[in-house]
Structure 1
Amino acid sequence: MYLKRWSVLALLLCFGLLTNSCDNEVDVVGDWKEVPVVYGVINPLPLFEPMEPHYIRIEKAFLDPRTDAFQIAQRPDSLYYGPFDLEVILFQQSLQGSQVISTALDTLERVSAVDEGFGDREEGIFAASPNYIYKSDAVVPVGAYLMLKVKNLSSGKEYDIYTKAIQAGDLDLTGQTFRNFRVNTPSTSLGVKWVNYDQGSQDWIFRDINFNWATPTDAAVYDLSLDIHYYEFEVDESQTGEPEIAGTRVLKTLTWTPFRSIMASGSSEPKGLCSACPATYERFVEGDGSVAQEINGENFFRYLASNLSSTTDNNIRRCFSHFDVQVDAAGVDLANYLKANAANQTLVGGLFPAEPYTNVPDGYGIFTTKMFTNKKGYDLDDEVLEYLKFGEITRDLGFRDYSCN
């Protein structure tokens, strides 16, 4: 039997939470059918937390054996459903006795991404403008069972997409730190010691620092980021010691994400709201309940050297203030999607790639939830500050060998 291969182009949204390269081409074999493309990450919060809008991209895959796919990709009406084509409702599901109850949280509105402050798409395969997304102002409780119902009002076709919101316990009102989703190590009580000077060998020795955090329920993939805060100021080079010129100090921040898409130990399994309920939700069975990554001091200094300009030919100087740690978590649906995507990228040979993971029935994409925790106020050890000024990697960056605090 002869199979004709048609190319379907569809946007794969790169999540702000866990940024990864996105493939633009999906291979489909067979007759035409309606194929929705849905990408959305919902951020559940306790009810007393300030709410931010949720945004979901909903588009359609397209298929035309008579027209070049790259030409079709530049036609907005080939990418987007019409303004009145879809009804999109976010539901919370719960159990009353043996009956599953669906409660509508919000009906999503189609909006312009430009009007929401996101701008047009980058120039490329797809039409850059217009850029439509769907917006919700729903307050989504932590741990909620969620269903996104997408109904095509023209064709009558409905798509029910399920995900389980991450459950992270109560919010610690001292900051964005959940009691059972928290950064355990390192401690903020001592300066982080990424390097020390060995008197015997008279060499700088880089050290590993362990970053460990407790895992919230149903989270399966993480990003680890550091917000590095430092000051820049001007100095009077004509005077001994290059004193700082008053009024020139400016606080700046670099955000470094040394680890992306860290998979927690554990496995996923389909599960319903009850033992007799359909297995519509994917749940994550945790392993040891914590995740850890080590950051070597050399990598820290090389990141600074790659992202800060040299000050050898000007009177700009810098001093370190502090850094904060943030851990972003996402649900098992995204973890499964990333694993499948990685498996497809390593495929060699064969007519077609492996089937991409999706929790969108008869479609493509992913619908999941996210959450974050952070720990603020990390200082650097005195020897680290000394290396910033004198060390081989960072000595041209103009750091003082003391903290600005």
Structure 2
Amino acid sequence: MQKKFLPLFSFLLFLASSCSTDFDIASDWKEITVIYGLLNAGDTAQYVRVNKAFLSENTSALEIAPIADSLYHNPPAQVLLKRIDANDNVLQTITMQRVNAETEGILKDNGLFATNPYYLFKTNATLNPDFKYRIEVTTPENKVITAETDVIANFDAIRPDPEFDISLLSENYTMRWSPSDEVGIYDMDLYLRFDEQYITPTGSIVTEPRTIKWNVFSNLNRETSIETGKVTYDLNIDAFFAFLNQNLSDVDSVEYRYFKGIDFMIHAGSNELKTYNDVAFAQFGVTASQILLEYTNINGGLGLFASRYSKQILNVKLSNQSQDLLACDPRTKALKFASSPGNPAYPDCN
């Protein structure tokens, strides 16, 4: 099973700088419910974290943190996910089930706070992006905590397009995709795939597939990035070459690197997530799972309830001229990429 990492948000930051004016740190005990969830209509399962935050003037939080019972409601809270229309009518109610994250293949980062058990609330229900979703948490004390978010739908990517090769011959490669009112920010990751042929210490020639990842941008503002009705971003070719040089300088044993394809991931984050980033000056981007508590959109609690969607554009090719440029240009020649198969000197340069 593939292991997924879902970092626990920092209670220490919360203890240092709570944004709730109702939270009296001089009281003997104060308990508040914290909700963290990013819905994704492209996923087959949705997970939401619900637990307690606490302060005590008599007991150190460092003593309480490793105790799982102090983080979770007992008995467990009731967690409902409700699909609502524009008139606030409830069209569907989904009861989320509490699961142990470890059995789901989700690992929490190591740290001060309890890791076993690590509980989440889960549903496999299909989300409908045409509607808002409300989370409703009822604690054992019958306190109700709620939050709402839009759900981001799939969107059209115009460029890059697997049907058309990428050219590296210009200063920039312009990418375009359709905007959505539900989206506030975008991230993009680029995955360059190639076969690396190298000589082993025993003199054998081995070819292995490799992939390197480039975070092209993070927290791109939708509103300020629209040109002629489309979200637009210029990928700078010099920056791409600089990324390659920073990550592929280990060429001592390399004979050739054979280009295979490029995969793009456009990660869209909802307006709630954008507001969180704006307020908290977050550096994590859409794909991160950690939350800071300077901002909350939870009614009656703390945390973040938002949505995201990841658009894949797979197996985009470079033009033959671009493969030759990658192999022969002084900026990248030392990286030992092979020229295009149609080059008379293949895999070398003319």
**Common fold by TM > 0.5:** yes
Larger RCO of the pair (alpha carbons < 8 Å, separation 6+) = 2
Query: 1:338: Cα distance to partner?
Result: 0.8
- What CA distance in whole angstroms lies between the structure 1 residues aligned with 2:339 and 2:10? 42
Write the letter of the residue equivalent to 2:247: N
- What CA distance in whole angstroms lies between the structure 2 residues aligned with 1:287 and 1:360? 34
Write the letter of the residue equivalent to 1:37: V
Query: 1:214: Cα distance to partner?
Result: 1.0
What's the % identity of the aligned pairs?
A: 25
Pair 135,184 (structure 1): closer, same or farther in 2 beyond 3 Å: same
Once the two structures are superposed, residues 121-171 of structure 1 have per-residue CA deviations (whole angstroms, 9 ceiling, x without a partner) of 222232333322111111111222211110002x110112111222x4xxx
Q: Contact (CA 8 Å) 2:191, 2:262: kept in 1 or not? A: yes
Counterpart residue number, 1:25: 13
Counterpart residue number, 1:302: 242
Q: Contact (CA 8 Å) 2:196, 2:254: kept in 1 or not? A: no
Pair 358,320 (structure 1): closer, same or farther in 2 beyond 3 Å: same
Once the two structures are superposed, residues 186-240 of structure 1 have per-residue CA deviations (whole angstroms, 9 ceiling, x without a partner) of 45555423347xxxxxxxxxx2222221112311111112222211234699x9x
Aligned with 1:151 (options 127, 138, 141): 138
Aligned with 1:106 (options 65, 83, 94): 94
Q: Contact (CA 8 Å) 1:236, 1:315: kept in 2 or not? A: no
Once the two structures are superposed, residues 77-110 of structure 1 have per-residue CA deviations (whole angstroms, 9 ceiling, x without a partner) of 222223x330111111236xx7x43244421121
Counterpart residue number, 1:376: 314
Pair 151,292 (structure 1): closer, same or farther in 2 beyond 3 Å: same
Summarize the alignment of residues 104-143 of structure 1 with structure 2, pairs less than 5 Å apart.
104-119=92-107, 121-143=108-130
Counterpart residue number, 1:37: 34
Query: 1:25: Cα distance to partner?
Result: 0.7
Judging by fraction of residues, say which structure has more helix: 2
- What CA distance in whole angstroms lies between the structure 1 residues aligned with 2:131 and 2:223? 23
Structure 1: any 5+ residue segments left out of the alignment? 1-12, 16-20, 46-50, 169-177, 197-206, 267-285, 345-354
Summarize the alignment of residues 166-181 of structure 1 with structure 2, pairs less than 5 Å apart.
166=152, 168=153, 178=154, 181=155
Q: Contact (CA 8 Å) 1:105, 1:139: kept in 2 or not? A: no
**What TM-score results when the alignment is normalised by the length of structure 1?**
0.69
Q: Contact (CA 8 Å) 1:230, 1:319: kept in 2 or not? A: yes
Tell me the C-alpha RMSD between the 2 structures: 3.4
Query: 1:66: Cα distance to partner?
Result: 1.8
Q: How many residues align?
A: 318
Summarize the alignment of residues 256-275 of structure 1 with structure 2, pairs less than 5 Å apart.
256-265=214-223
- What CA distance in whole angstroms lies between the structure 1 residues aligned with 2:33 and 2:321? 56
Q: Tell me, what secondary structure is at the counterpart of 2:246?
A: helix
Pair 187,156 (structure 1): closer, same or farther in 2 beyond 3 Å: closer
Query: 1:316: Cα distance to partner?
Result: 4.9
Aligned with 1:73 (options 65, 68, 78): 65
Query: 1:62: Cα distance to partner?
Result: 0.9
Q: Tell me, what secondary structure is at the counterpart of 1:138?
A: coil
Q: Contact (CA 8 Å) 1:265, 1:288: kept in 2 or not? A: no
